[in-house]
A and B are shown apart, each in its own frame.
Chain A
Amino acid sequence: MPVTTEAIADAMYAMVKEYQGKKKFKAGDLTKAMKQQFGEADADKAACKAAIRSLIDSGRCVYTYFGGSFIEIPHEEGAASGG
């Protein structure tokens, strides 16, 4: 049975959540990890792109910029309150 976009999105979310605060992932990092996990045939570039879009549009993840663009779990930023 082919892997659904939601299944890929869930796997990406789990990965981002596990490493939150320790390592930041770019869209390309997540795509490579999903290709390894599900196989290139099931988790191709288009499927991973759709999964990332689903994560971002649902608000489960956000894009951040720290010298490059990353995908993270939404969190309160220290600098927002002067920290």
Chain B
Amino acid sequence: MAKSGGNGTPMLDELEKGPWPSFVTQIKEAAEIKEQAQDLLKLLERSYHEKIGHWKHGGIVGVLGYGGGVIGRYNDLQSEYPSIAHFHTLRVNMPSGWFYTSEALRTICDIWERHGSGLTNMHGSTGDIILLGTSTDELEPTFKELTDNDFDLGGSGSDLRTPSCCVGPARCEWACYDTLHITNDLTHHFQDELHRPAFPYKFKIKCAGCPNDCVASIARADMSIIGTWRDDIQIDQKEVTAAAKAGLDIQKDVCARCPTQCMDWDGKQLSIDNANCVKCMHCINAMPRALQPGKDRGATILLGAKAPIVEGALLSSVLVPFIKLEPPYDELKDLIERIWEFWGEHGKNRERVGELIQRVGLGNFLEAIEIEPVPQMIAHPRENPYVFYDEYFEEGDDESEDDQ
């Protein structure tokens, strides 16, 4: 059996080489004070040699009243690695935008050193604070200490996963709505759905303040809420000229790279055909002093992204092209509940909402959630024929002829 550190973990030691941070180095540091971290290193080294994983996840662990937030983990060599016989993970709901005080971080770390391995993952892919490794007996005491310090568990299993967002207006002038406020608001409003799994499978909401989509919501969230605007891009012509004088080749690096070629630069004046702008953000990213998103700001709601687990990966597609997002967000909450209602009624076990839409067809889905089809739902002309016009056929026409 391998010993941690020195030559006891030769394969893990390879992962400490190079200029990058190493999780092995960090677990070794923890191993100086925590037996669990020592056993974790030994078991991982053994897995690398044997090419066999020794962990089972899931099961019935949790805290009273909640169905999410704890992921049970057990190893199958408990007599050899007793300190990590149970090594459950806790997901803790992070603050919107991941803003912490150092005091809050110390509080979490102190709680976790008292009740768990002391190992954390900041942050998991959904955004939660991940506390790695504790036993079943320590779950309730950990939960009590966390809630006493105003933290709560996040989502796991077939529930609403912890909503997350970009830093939004706290740090970014391009935010088209208050991502931090809406994320906090939705988290509080949907507490029941977050803690008590009642869905066919997981449901993720991510809020990005502008089309740069820094939280990659379009690829990672069942519901992507992406900031946008519906008036004209704001242009400061003096700053455009200054950018050109500073060496930026506006024609080559900005206009020519516009996906719809809706920009024109005559050497003195930049003009934009805003009706053809697809809000790609390239020009704004290239000339941040000269260009700004418009003033009539809101968001586009997209639905259906998922990673390839049961079926293949999907990107979100447009559901609502533009919505004003202002408290109390009733229109959005009502839409979310209509989606959940239909999904809960018709979704199969482990079927994400994007897969449900593919199975039943976007037309039927839209009808069920009472949303009118609009052209923005189509990716390209004559592709994704989600919208059919009954009036295209007149009485007496043989529709089958058009199918041939």
Contacts and interface: CB of A to CB of B under 8 A. Distances in A.
Interface string B186-205: 00000010001111110000
Contact of A56 (B56, B67, B345, B349): B67
A27 B197 contact: yes
B352 to A, nearest CB: 12
A63 B198 contact: no
A27 B157 CA distance: 12
Contacts of B201: 68
A82 B79 CA distance: 8
Contacts of B85: 82
Interface residues of B, number: 37
Interface in B59-80: 59-60, 62, 64-68, 71-72, 74-79
Contacts of B142: none
Interface size class of A (residues with CB under 8 A): 20 to 34
A74 B156 CA distance: 19
Contacts of A66: 58-59
A82 B77 contact: yes
Contact of B68 (A27, A52, A57, A69): A69
B217 interface: no
A68 B136 CA distance: 20
B198 A68 contact: no
A75 B60 CA distance: 8
Interface in B195-244: 196-201
B59 A77 contact: yes
Contact of B86 (A53, A67, A75, A80): A80
Contacts of B60: 62-65, 72, 74-75, 77
Most buried by A among B66, B74, B192, B201: B74
A77 B263 CA distance: 64
Given A63-B67, A68-B349, A26 B157 contact: no
A26 B158 contact: yes
A28 interface: yes
Contacts of A69: 67-68, 157-159, 197
A67 B71 CA distance: 11
A49 B347 CA distance: 18
Interface string A43-83: 00000010011001101001111111100101101011110
Given A26-B349, A59-B64, A69-B68, A79 B56 contact: yes
A63 B59 contact: no
B344 interface: yes
A62 to B, nearest CB: 6
A28 B64 CA distance: 20
A81 B158 CA distance: 26
B289 interface: no
19 contacts: A26-B158, A26-B200, A27-B197, A27-B198, A28-B198, A49-B198, A52-B196, A52-B198, A53-B196, A57-B65, A59-B64, A64-B59, A65-B60, A65-B72, A67-B350, A68-B349, A69-B159, A77-B60, A77-B72
List 4 tightest A-B contacts by C-beta distance, closest first: A63-B67, A69-B197, A69-B157, A82-B78
Interface of A: 26-28, 31, 49, 52-53, 56-57, 59, 62-69, 72, 74-75, 77, 79-82
Given A31-B344, A77-B60, 4 more contacts: A49-B198, A69-B68, A81-B78, A82-B85
Interface of B: 56, 58-60, 62, 64-68, 71-72, 74-79, 85-86, 136, 156-159, 192, 196-201, 344-345, 347, 349-350
